[in-house]
């Protein structure tokens, strides 16, 4: 039986991934290791907590002794690392914890994976490691060959982790893959990120803060499509390879906010322009042709259908939002 370690499984993407995997592979044995920082929420996994093939372990990926003990005890075949400090604004205010978790934590997981002969180590990374693209060059996209050029302490820590993963593949022959995905949206996202934050504020008739002129462009992918892509890569990806994941759903931040306001039947007067984020990336856009070609991966959602479903999820789960914010 395959034994999988998912780290950061109580966060947004990790918890969606665990639901997806346990649905798809009922015989898979899965351990979720999470430190339960402000972003981790056991409530996301309440419906599966009694599943005999699922186990939650609280712990820190940057605690070497703890990680080695866990690997010794559990005998994993596959490691999928979602655990990270993930919010750019927080990294601007205090980069140090980003280095500790995202860089040192990754290195410790790699060391343990090597020692315990893991079959596949997968690193969940981000398109932000490529830096940004100019707004006036819509013909440009990030490919897997685009040089790493991160802008924020967050993306720098993720780029550093990616380089460590590649080096363990090349130097020690560890079987690794890396995925770099665009911005995700969907259920269970902590309401500090753009989409759930704006939904929450709009529902409460609060001002919706938009950085700068709102023209920065992001490529949005529904979290379900990200989970499907990671599953393909973990099972069929070639060791040592990087795979970009994106949905060709480029939107300015202002377009996203206006879509949320119109869907909720709220007035655009709620929009409030605030000083821009330092070093704010202009445009992210992924070329996903490698994963489309290698695995016939096609996103199920387009932005219009996905955002409506997501807004409805937050409308149906206001208790979840309030519990997360009051934690
Ligand atoms: P998140 O912040 O919602 O969740 C992160 C999880 O990691 C939380 O449950 C937290 O408790 C846990 N964690 C943090 N530090 C830990 C530590 N030291 N040890 C163990 N657990 C720890 O993040 P997310 O949005 O779900 O992102 C998951 C991964 O996907 C991250 O690596 C992120 O860089 C990457 N990613 C995110 C997006 C996006 O749009 N959200 C896009 C591309 C890639």
pLDDT score recorded for residue 164? 98
- Catalytic site includes residue 127: yes
Write out pLDDT tens, residues 53-85.
999 999 999 999 999 999 999 999 999 999 999
| Residue 327 predicted with pLDDT over 80 | no
Is the confidence at residue 139, as pLDDT, over 90?
A: yes
How many angstroms is it from 182 CA to the middle of ligand 1? 14
Rounded CA separation 16/223 (Å): 7
- Name the percent of the chain in helix, strand, coil, to the closest 5: 45, 20, 35
Which domains are seen in the chain, by residue range?
3-189+221-252+280-301 (3.40.50.720)
- Percent residues over pLDDT 90 in the chain: 98
Share the mean pLDDT of the chain: 96
Closest CA to 167 of 123, 201, 224, 119: 123
Closest residue by CA, ligand 1 atom 27:
13
CA of 86 relative to ligand 1 center, distance in Å: 5
pLDDT of residue 159: 98
User: Using an 8 Å Cβ cutoff, are 256 and 195 in contact?
Assistant: yes
Copy the structure tokens of residue 210. 């938009």
- The mean per-residue pLDDT over the stretch 139-164 comes to 98
The CA–CA distances, whole Å, from 173 to 74, 125, 170, 180, 214 equal 22, 20, 6, 21, 45
* Nearest of 112, 8, 117 to residue 57 by alpha carbon: 8
Is 162 marked active-site? Answer: no
The CB of 184 under 6 Å from ligand 1? The reply is yes
| Ligand 1 pocket check for 62: Cβ under 6 Å | yes
Residues 23-47: tens digit of each pLDDT: 999 999 999 999 999 999 999 999 9
> Is ligand 1 within 6 A of the CB of residue 18?
no
The pLDDT tens digits for 287-315 are 999 999 999 999 999 999 999 999 999 99
- Which residue did the predictor score with more confidence, 1 or 267? 267
pLDDT-derived band at 158 (thresholds 50, 70, 90) equals: very high
pLDDT of 1 reads 73
Q: How confident is the model at residue 3 (pLDDT cuts 50, 70, 90)?
A: very high
Nearest residue by C-alpha to atom 37 in ligand 1: 126
Q: Is the pTM of this model over 0.75?
A: yes
How far away, in angstroms, is 199 Cα from ligand 1 center? 21
For residue 30, what pLDDT is reported?
A: 98
Residues 229-261: tens digit of each pLDDT: 999 999 999 999 999 999 899 999 999 999 999
Distance 37 CA to ligand 1 centre (A): 10
Q: Are 58 and 28 in contact (CB under 8 A)?
A: no
Marked catalytic residue, from 34, 60, 85, 127: 127
Is residue 185 in contact with ligand 1, taking CB distance under 6 Å? Answer: no
Nearest CA to ligand 1 atom 33: 86
Q: In the structure encoding, which two tokens stand for residue 33, read together? A: 């290791």
pLDDT of 326: 85
Question: Beta partners for 283?
Answer: 133, 217
Whether residue 186 has its Cβ less than 6 Å from ligand 1:
no
pLDDT tens digits, one per residue of 171-219: 999 999 999 999 999 999 999 999 999 999 999 999 999 999 999 999 9
């Amino acid at each position: 039986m395959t034994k999988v370690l998912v780290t950061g499984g109580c966060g947004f993407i990790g918890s969606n991934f665990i639901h997806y995997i346990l649905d798809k592979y009922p015989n898979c044995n899965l351990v979720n290791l999470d430190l339960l920082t402000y972003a981790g929420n056991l409530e996301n996994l309440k419906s599966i907590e009694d599943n005999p093939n699922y186990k939650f372990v609280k712990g820190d990926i940057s605690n070497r002794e703890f990680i080695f003990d866990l690997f010794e005890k559990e005998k994993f075949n596959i490691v999928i690392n979602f655990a990270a400090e993930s919010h750019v604004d927080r990294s601007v205010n205090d980069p140090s914890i980003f280095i500790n978790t995202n860089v040192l934590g990754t290195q410790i997981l790699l060391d343990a994976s090597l020692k315990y002969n893991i079959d596949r180590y997968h690193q969940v990374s981000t398109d932000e490691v490529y830096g940004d693209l100019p707004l006036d060059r819509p013909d440009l996209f990030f490919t897997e060959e685009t040089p790493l050029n991160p802008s924020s302490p967050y993306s720098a820590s993720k780029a550093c982790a990616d380089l460590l993963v590649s080096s363990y593949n090349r130097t020690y022959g560890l079987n690794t893959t890396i995925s770099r995905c665009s911005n995700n949206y969907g259920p269970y996202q902590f309401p500090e990120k753009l989409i759930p934050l704006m939904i929450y504020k709009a529902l409460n008739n609060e001002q919706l803060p938009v950085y700068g002129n709102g023209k920065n462009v992001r490529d949005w992918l529904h979290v379900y499509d990200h989970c499907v892509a990671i599953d393909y890569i973990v099972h069929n990806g070639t060791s040592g390879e990087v795979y970009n994941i994106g949905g060709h759903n480029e939107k300015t931040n202002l377009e996203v906010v206006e879509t949320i306001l119109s869907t909720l039947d709220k007035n655009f007067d709620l929009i409030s322009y605030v000083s821009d984020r330092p070093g704010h990336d202009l445009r992210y856009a992924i070329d996903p042709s490698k994963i489309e070609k290698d695995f016939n991966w096609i996103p199920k959602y387009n932005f219009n259908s996905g955002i409506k479903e997501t807004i409805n999820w937050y409308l149906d789960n206001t208790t979840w939002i309030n519990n997360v914010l009051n934690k």
